[in-house]
Amino acid sequence: MSTTASSKLLVAVAISLIVGILIGYGIGYFTISPQQPSPTTTTQTPTEKVTLTVIGPWAGAEMKAFQQVLNKFMEEYPNIRVEYRIYRAEDLASILPPQFEAGMAPGDVIFMWGWWIKEYGDKGYLMDLSGLVNPDEYIKGIFDPVKSGNKIYGLPFTAWAKPGFWYRKSFFQQHNLSVPKTWDEFLQLLDKIKQIPGIKAPIVTGDSVGWPISDVVEHFIITFGGPDMQLKLIKGEIKFNDPRVKQIFQNYIIPLIKKGYFSPPIEWTKAVEEWWSGKYALYFMGTWITGMVDDPNDLGFFPLPGCKGVVMGTDYLFVPKFTKHPQEAKLLAKWLATEGQRVHVGTHAGKFATWLKVSIKDHWAPMRMVYQKIKTMTPLPDLDDSIGGEWQKLFWDQLKLLWVDPDKLDDVLNTLTVNFPSK
């Protein structure tokens, strides 16, 4: 299959699954009976004590939420000890291939991008997990990114959304600020915030390898170009140097950068602290931010006025064929993809369940609020995650360049266009 065809398939799959996430809570729980037997493979409880290693991207508050999931598993299976290690997907993309070539793996259950799991499953490095869970109990289409033929190389965990700009309700009340309903009101809000003593900039810009800035840019593209432009950019049907794309940068993003409404890029978890302490008023981030603040009841968010779409996605896990404890690793993988989700959405992780036997009532209260606000928006795949590969890194680097030197716009858009993946 060509790269273009693969990209189109991934987009279709992503749309299918995130639409399902939004409607799943509306119909899924009423169509799946808890009493129905699941046609899944039985995994035996170990009789001897073993230690498994789980690798995931979560640190800080996110890690604490995930550790609650692992603690519950160890409570149910006392003969299995689980150790957690932090590696982001960007790092694993470099670490795992040479280890696989050497017949090794750094963990027994590993979280990674869906497209990557399928690719390395086909190369023979991952265990086939088909039959371990019942796909009919999940959001429709969610297994497609990790499925190849009759084999399933990954299992879905919980899902996230990137719904808009987060703010503290108490900060808005203290300074008599209101959620904007038009673009002009948004500009007036930014200008008013900038005049508040102690404010460094109205919007804090998160940084790491680059994904926080790309999330901001995607939100502007979806707002002013529409959900269709996001999809066509992913498919390569619209180029980044297209005048319609360029005008979104020229008319909306660049003026905000030049007026100092965005801060320079700051490490994204440090940015959470500084935003929460009042040095900044707004922060564009995913739903996981609900679990990273002291008082989630003080949180509010708004999309840009007129925005009709929201980026959503899920986390996938796999079991490498080089694990020394295949049965125990599969047992943990199955539990994480089922009952582990119920535990995770009840913590402060800021996630939605993809296993439909988890009720919306099982979710942490702030996430129920988020669901109510985004359920009418068009769910969309993440642009750079969908395209992936070396272009994703280029996208992040070019946007960071734009944030510190907005006069480089033409160079940035041409670079993204020239280097976009072809057949």
Cα–Cα distance for residue pair 396/383, rounded to 1 Å: 11
15-19, 212-216, 260-264: least confident range: 15-19
Nearest by Cα to 117 from 77, 157, 80, 81: 157
What pLDDT does 34 receive?
Answer: 39
pLDDT band at 19 (very low <50, low <70, confident <90, very high): very low
Fill in the DSSP letter of residue 347: T
What pLDDT does 25 receive?
Answer: 45
Nearest by Cα to 368 from 380, 378, 358: 358
**What digits encode the pLDDT tens for the residues 370-405?**
888 888 888 888 898 888 878 998 999 999 999 999
pLDDT at residue 186 greater than cutoff 80: yes
What pLDDT does 140 receive?
Answer: 78
Nearest by Cα to 386 from 232, 209, 224: 232
pTM of the shown model:
0.78
What pLDDT does 273 receive?
Answer: 96
Q: State the average pLDDT for the chain.
A: 89
Burial of 156 (0-12, 13-18, 19+ CB in 10 A): buried
For the chain, domains (ranges, CATH) are 50-161+314-369 (3.40.190.10), 164-285+388-419 (3.40.190.10)
What pLDDT does 423 receive?
Answer: 58
- For residue 222, the Cα-to-chain-centroid distance in whole angstroms is 17
Nearest by Cα to 34 from 388, 338, 370: 338
What pLDDT does 44 receive?
Answer: 61
- Would you state the structure tokens that stand for residue 344, as one six-digit string? 């995770």
The residues pairing with 310 across neighbouring beta strands, listed in sequence order, are 379
φ, ψ of residue 195 in degrees (nearest 5): -85, -10
Cα–Cα distance for residue pair 22/161, rounded to 1 Å: 10
Cα–Cα distance for residue pair 309/380, rounded to 1 Å: 7
- Would you state the structure tokens that stand for residue 242, as one six-digit string? 């297209």
Q: Is 151 helix (H, G, I), strand (E, B) or coil?
A: strand
**What digits encode the pLDDT tens for the residues 22-74?**
544 443 333 333 334 444 555 566 677 999 999 999 998 899 999 999 999 99
DSSP 324-352: S-HHHHHHHHHHHHTHHHHHHHHTTT--B
- For helices 389-404 and 211-225, angle between their N-to-C axes, nearest 10 degrees: 90
- Cβ atoms 248, 420 nearer than 8 A: no
Q: What percent of the chain has pLDDT over 90?
A: 77
What pLDDT does 112 receive?
Answer: 96
